[in-house]
Chain A
Amino acid sequence: NAGVMQNPRHLVRRRGQEARLRCSPMKGHSHVYWYRQLPEEGLKFMVYLQKENIIDESGMPKERFSAEFPKEGPSILRIQQVVRGDSAAYFCASSPSETTSGNTIYFGEGSWLTVV
Chain B
Amino acid sequence: QKEVEQNSGPLSVPEGAIASLNCTYSDRGSQSFFWYRQYSGKSPELIMFIYSNGDKEDGRFTAQLNKASQYVSLLIRDSQPSDSATYLCAVIGLTGGGNKLTFGTGTQLKVEL
List residues of chain A with CB under 8 Å of any chain B CB: 1, 31, 33, 35, 41-45, 48, 55-56, 58, 91, 93, 95, 98-105, 107-110
Closest chain B CB from A77 CB (angstroms)? 15
Closest to B104 in A: A42
Neighbouring B residues of A107 by C-beta, 8 Å:
43-45
Kindly state the separation between the CA atoms of A31 and B97 in the bound complex, as whole angstroms: 11
B103 touches A43 (CB 8 A): yes
B99 touches A1 (CB 8 A): no
Q: Out of B4, B45, B101, B104, name the residue touching A102 (CB < 8 Å).
A: B101
A-B contact pairs, 14 of them (CB 8 A): A41-B105, A42-B105, A43-B103, A45-B102, A48-B97, A55-B98, A56-B96, A56-B97, A91-B44, A99-B98, A100-B92, A100-B99, A102-B99, A110-B42
Kindly state the separation between the CA atoms of A98 and B46 in the bound complex, as whole angstroms: 19
Contact residues on B (Cβ < 8 Å of other chain), bracket: 20 to 34
Closest 10 CB pairs of A and B: A42-B105, A42-B103, A43-B103, A98-B98, A107-B43, A103-B49, A110-B43, A105-B99, A102-B32, A95-B99
